[in-house]
Every structure is written in C-alpha cells, then in structure tokens.
A and B are shown apart, each in its own frame.
Chain A
Amino acid sequence: MGQLFAVEVIYRGVFQKTLAKNITRGIVLAAHNEGKLGISFGRYGDSPERNGIPAKSFAIVANDEETLEAGMAQYEPKQVDVTVVLDDTLCKGAESWAWSGLQPVHHALKPGHTLIVISLEDAPALLKNIHRRKEPYKLGIVRGVTSFSGMWVYKDDHTDVRILGAIAKALPKLMSLESVEKFINEKLKNSLKVTTARNAFERFTAIDVKAGEGNPEEVVKVGLPRWEDMRCGVSIKGQAQGGPFADPVTGEVGGFRPVRNELFTKYSTRTQRPVVNFATCTKCTLCWLNCPDGAFDITAAGTYDTNFEACSGCGICEEICPVKNCITMVNEDEFHDNNSQWAAFEKDKGAYLKWLETTIKKADPIKNRSHGFRYRGQYQEQVPEAMEIANKG
C-alpha cells in the first residue's frame, strides 16, 4: 500500500463554502504536480449548507490508484493528516449539520499531526476553546481575518493560498511549496498569490500541544437507537411545552423558557453572540419576538436573556433593538462559557456593566464584523486591509 493523505477543512457553512472548495481542490491539483492522484469533496450530509453551521470539505491524495481507492472506500476519512479550521470560533467544536452531537475540532486528526487555524488570536487563547484530547498534536496559526463571503459573490483575500502554503510546510510529504506555486501559476494564473503562498509557507510554525492540554469541557455525544426501539410510522415525539422557570438568582418563578431540543444546539453555529445591557433595556420585546431561533428566555423579571443553546449569532437582535448600544454582537472568541448574562447581571450589576464595557470595546466596528455581503463593492474595500493584517503575521 502506498502513502495516503487526507486533509479536512472545517468551515462555516455557506460563508466559506467556495473558499473551502478552493482549498481542497488546490491541494489535489498541487499534489498532482508531483504525480500524486487525488479527489476533493464536500461532505454530502452537510449539504445543503446553512449560514454558519459547521461543514467539512476533504482532499484525499495518494501515490497510486489502489491506495487512493482505499482512501475513497469510506464516505469520509476517519483519520486525517491535517485539519484546517477556517474560522477560529470553530475551535469550540463543530456541531455539524450532518450529525447530532458536538465533535471537537481535532476529532479526526491523527496524533502528532497538525491543526491549522486562521486566527488573529494566539495559541493560548485558542487552547481555551479547543478541547483537550488524550493524544498530543501540533497547533499552527495562520494569521488572518476570517474570510467570509456567500453564495454568489466571493471575497478573494488570498486565504486559500495562504492555507496551501501552510499545509505545504506542515506536511511536506503531501506537497511541496514548488508544487503549490506551480498550481497557482498554471491554474489560478495569479503571481501575487504565489508570493502570498510563499510568505505563508515561510512564516508557518506549529507548537506542540500536550496530551490533556486544552478546554476541559466534556463533549456531548448522541447515540442512535435500534430499529425495534424506534417509533413506527416515521414518527417522533414532538417538542414539549416550556413554561415559567426559577430566576437563577432570586429564585422567583415566572417568565417563559421554551423546551430546547438537545439533538441540535447552536453552540457551534455562532461566530458572534449578543451581549445585553439590562440596565438600559426597555423590555420592548422586539429582540425576543424577532429572533428566528427563539433564543431568548423571558425571565421572571420580564427581561430577555439569551439562551446560548439556541442562539445562532445572526445579529438581528442588535439591528432591531431600539435602544442605542443595548445589544451588541461580539466575536465568540471572547467567551468561554455559555452562562446566563441575566444571572451575572443580577449577581453583581456593577461588575457586569464593567465587563460589558470592556467586552464591547473588543468588538470590531460593525463594518468589520461582516459575516457576509452588505453592499456591492464591500469585499473589494475589505481585501486590502485583510491582506495587510495577514502580512503582518
């Protein structure tokens, strides 16, 4: 049996669909320059993708046909040589569209191999989120702004070739930098991208992550029932009714909390989450009423508390809130728990408001918090800045 390589790219559904595909295709075509054979594919179960919900794309490469076939004999590789994460908030794990249950981001990564993450954060910050595992691995950061676009208009900020350069450094047996450059010259016909790839290659380093190092959170696994135990007629029990609940601090029972479905939560869908200033909130109901995910619990005090099981981080609540700076979307990287903000506010209003202030300061101005298209010409405006930030790395 010859050598078999598998690379997986974990990305934000729809927003990074084209980017992920460009990367996995680029791997196959670059490796082909050294005589290797390969295939590139998205995970069928992830399709049709939904904005924000994690998805995976793969490249399988081998020295010969038979080895490639061995790699193709499964729907997707159970073990990969490199895992690429295109949005660092995905480091909290992927609850992919295709499955139930959360998978740590290095779920399929072979021990001792490299996890590549695009981020402006440093390794310790990322390791607060990346789950610990029994086996050691390497973590390499490609410095850059998360690249988001959409279905029809693509933002080409060279992220694709930066990743190819990094992979060539992390796994030279898969493909060399020369192969990557040849691919860019011949297929992409873009000499600027050759430079970008080269720089990424030269800059790329990875640190060793020890066994047991990382986020201690226990990951939820969902089992599957036997056919005898399944209800017949393709039926399942419906969603139970929610009801009033005890306030986390005062214990007063009231308000309404819907029952939340455990089989799919939005913890890993978010790239950003709302932070709420309960002091200025006028309880107008609009955030709660207009949330497509029904993510707000109504507390006994009549405030609206984001329930992070259900919040997908769309940002409609910020746009619709009539009070200035009452709801602000902040990058998900800033948070390391999913605790109730209302509870924190009640426990200590002063501390909460201070925390709110510092957290909001860290939030990018709205034009940079783009996760998607806002106006024609936007991406052309954003690319130079994104390139500059990446080149600083």
Chain B
Amino acid sequence: MSTFVDEKPTQNLEPFKGVKKVPQEEYYTSGHRTCQGCESAQIMKLMAKAAGPRTVVLGSTGCMYVANTSYYATPWGVPWMHTQLGSSGSSALGAAAAFRVQMRKGVMKDEPINVIAFCGDGGGADMGLGAISATMCHPDYNLLILMYDNESYANTDIQISGTSPYGVNTSFSTPGKVKRIMNHRWKKNMAPLMMVGHPTVKYVGTISTSYPLQAMNNVRKALSIGGPTFIHCLNPCPKGWDFDPVLSFELGELAVNTGIWPLYEIECGKLTLYGKTKDIANGRFKRLPVRDYLLKQGRFAHFIDEDIEYFQSKIDEMWDKWLVPGIIPLQKEIEADTPPAR
C-alpha cells in the first residue's frame, strides 16, 4: 500500500515540450534591482513563467525581496506578498488553508490556485527550517516551497548560512592572519532532509538555472502533484561568489558537472536523476575536478591546494561511498574526516 495519499493530480500542468514551446508570457519582469547576472532572479522568472497567472507568491525576506520589490516598485505580474525571513513554510500554509476553506464554503470560486512560497538559503535552511518541516507534514494543502540557494545571506552583504560551502569567504567567515578557514561547516543536504524526514511528501527535487526547461517542468510537476512540495535550486551569485556575471550560467553547469550539485527528483518516493548527474551516476560522464569550479570564484581564492583536495575528497565521498550516491550520506564503513589545518 502506498504511503502517498490521493494520487490524482490537482490540475493539469503539462510539461513544456522544449524551449520553443515555452510560453512567452512573463509574470516576473523588469523593475528589480538585482545584480547583473543574478541567477536567483532568473529562477524567479522561470518559476513565475512555469506557474502562470493563477498563482499567489509569498516572498520571504532576502535578495529576492529587497532587490526585487525595491522601494515601492514590483516586478511581479502575479499577486505577491512579503513574508518574514523564517516564514516561507507558514505563509504557504496560511494561504493554502484560506483558499481551501473559502472554496469549500462556497465564497470563493473553486479552482486550483498555485501557492508558492520562496525562501533563500538563509530563510529556508536556517531560520525557517522548522516552519518548512512542519508544513511538509500537512497532506491537505497543495503548495510549493522553492528555496533559491546562493549559498549565503546575500542581501545583508554576504554572510555564511547553513548551505554555504566549506571554507568559503564571506563577511562572517573572512580568512585572516591566523585563521585561513573560518567556516568549518559542510553544506546542509536540504532536499534529502525534506524527503527522508517527511515520508508523505510527494515531491522533492533539485534544479538548476542552467537547466531552465527542466527547472520549469519540475515546478509544474510540484504544483500539480498535490500536497506540500519542496524544490531546491542552486543559484550562482556574481556578487557573493565574486565572479564576472558573464560566467553565471557556466558556473551553474560546472556545479553539476563536478558532482557538487546533483540534479534529481523524488516523486512519491521514487528517485530519478537527470541531466549530467544521471551520467555521473551511471559512469558515462567523469566528474570534472572541483578545482575547475572553485578557482573561478573569488570566494575561494584563499584556498590552498590542501583545501581544494579536501573539498574534492568530500565530493568523491558523496559519489563513491554514499549508499545512495550524491544524495543520502549513509555509509557502510566509518571513515575519519581529515580536513587540513585551518
């Protein structure tokens, strides 16, 4: 018997069959004051395009709040409401509950309304983790929580969050005269956390703005599968990661091709890898060295070779030792973690 309640889709959102079939309408346009090359803005655009006009967006505090609806202007062509930094989970639940009850009581037209709450990695992996977790348990409410991950609290001028990479330079983890590495934390494994920790969630996935078609289609799937859903997107950030904005798309690809950012969907418990990740897992593509990715970004410019090797070893471990490679960090043997002196 399936864990998953009521498997009928809530609405019919067909996947876009190719870039030329992507609708031209934009529900997130200009007016935002994001950086040149901001991939977080890009996922907002794709998310809104994928969801369409029958959508309500709750935007928690972060770059996609402050740099978007800046100073009484807005780029949103669908209804949008600010919510607090840790409230992506609760705001989505509140909106979904309100629509559900009003439709049931007959005071609101009964139709599928997309409820999407977005959060940055700061708001999602740190402050708002509890609220998202609670919301993931509620099978009655259809909603999507999309976490755009630029690997820092970007809006406050770049500080480490729970998803920042090991050793990264930010204004709260500056390399200095005595300490080269201030951030000892390894990146949180958010999507698997959401899936494994909440067994009735029907859809959890990772996406990348370097795979725009798949990203949009995964959003559409999450919006029609029913119940609470979670998508984690990696968004290269020219400001925080310190790189020429021209490289935004390329760095997204490199993150995938080095195995650092695996692409997959978990639909009703079934795991499917996609993109280059699939080829990495089945041996058809050899992971590029992490050095190629790290040294294109100023935030890793202070790394010595030992740091890069350590980083590589952790990625190798993800793919060579994890029982579900790239995704679930359970291992058969205990092995020591040996970072270089910091």
Direct contact of A and B (CB under 8 A): yes
A residues touching B (Cβ–Cβ < 8 Å)? Answer: 13-14, 47-53, 97-100, 149-153, 236, 238-242, 255-256, 258-261, 263-266, 269, 284-286, 289-295, 298, 309-310, 312-316, 318-320, 329, 370-376
How far, in Å, is A111 (CB) from chain B's closest CB? Answer: 30
Q: A291 contacts which chain B residues (CB < 8 A)?
A: 42
Contact yes or no, B20 A285, CB < 8 A:
yes
- Closest CB of chain A to B233's CB: distance in Å? 13
**How long is the Cα–Cα vector from A376 to B73 in the complex, in angstroms?**
38
Task: Collect the chain B residues with CB atoms within 8 Å of residue A51's CB.
Answer: 35-38, 238-239, 245
Evaluate whether A315 and B37 lie within 8 angstroms (CB atoms) in the complex, with A151-B239, A153-B298 already known: yes
Which B residues lie within 8 Å of A263 (CB)? 31, 71-73
Chain A residues near B240: list those with CB within 8 A: 151
A292 to B212, CA, bound (A): 11
Count how many chain B residues have C-beta atoms less than 8 Å from C-beta atoms of the other chain: 63
Q: Is A50's CB under 8 angstroms from B33's CB?
A: yes
* B316 proximal to A (CB < 8 A): no
Q: Which of A239, A319, A370 contacts B77 (CB 8 A)?
A: A239
Q: 6 shortest A-B CB distances, which residue pairs?
A: A261-B31, A51-B35, A372-B244, A315-B246, A263-B73, A256-B24
**A-contact 0/1 string along B11-36, CB 8 Å cutoff:** 00000000110101111111111111
How close is A327's CB to chain B, nearest CB, in angstroms?
11
Are A261 and B239 CB-contacts (below 8 A) given A239-B76, A316-B249, A375-B296? no
With A264-B70, A314-B37, A372-B245 known as contacts, the answer to whether A50 contacts B239 (CB < 8 A) is yes
Taking A239-B74, A374-B247 as contacts, is the C-beta distance between A264 and B31 under 8 angstroms? yes
When the two chains form their complex, are residues B36 and A314 in contact, meaning their CB atoms are under 8 A apart?
yes
For B19, the chain A residues whose CB sits under 8 A away are 284-286, 289
User: Which listed residue (B30, B53, B74) contacts A295, Cβ 8 A?
Assistant: B30
Establish whether residues A50 and B67, one from each chain, have CB atoms under 8 Å apart when the complex forms: yes
A14 touches B297 (CB 8 A): no
Which residue in chain B gives the minimum CB-CB distance to A265? Answer: B30
* 6 pairs, A vs B, C-beta closer than 8 Å: A50-B38, A152-B298, A238-B77, A290-B249, A295-B30, A373-B243
Query: Which of chain A's residues has its CB closest to B175's CB?
Result: A152
Q: For B258, list chain A residues within 8 Å (CB).
A: none
With A48-B155, A263-B72, A373-B243: A289-B31 Cβ-Cβ less than 8 Å:
no
Expressed in whole angstroms, the Cα–Cα distance for A112 and B192 within the complex equals 64
Q: Which residues of B contact A284 (CB under 8 A)?
A: 19
For the residues of A in contact with B, the DSSP-based class is loop
A151 near B245: Cβ-Cβ < 8 Å: no
Contacts of B299 in A (CB 8 A): 151-152
Closest to A95 in B: B33
Within the complex, the shortest CB–CB distance from B232 to chain A, in Å, comes to 19
A374, B244: Cβ atoms closer than 8 Å? yes
Query: B26 and A258: CB pair below 8 A?
Result: yes
- Given A151-B242, A316-B249, answer yes or no on A293-B39 (Cβ-Cβ < 8 Å): no
Chain A residues contacting B74 (CB-CB under 8 Å) are 236, 238-239, 261
Q: Kindly state the separation between the CA atoms of A320 and B251 in the bound complex, as whole angstroms.
A: 12
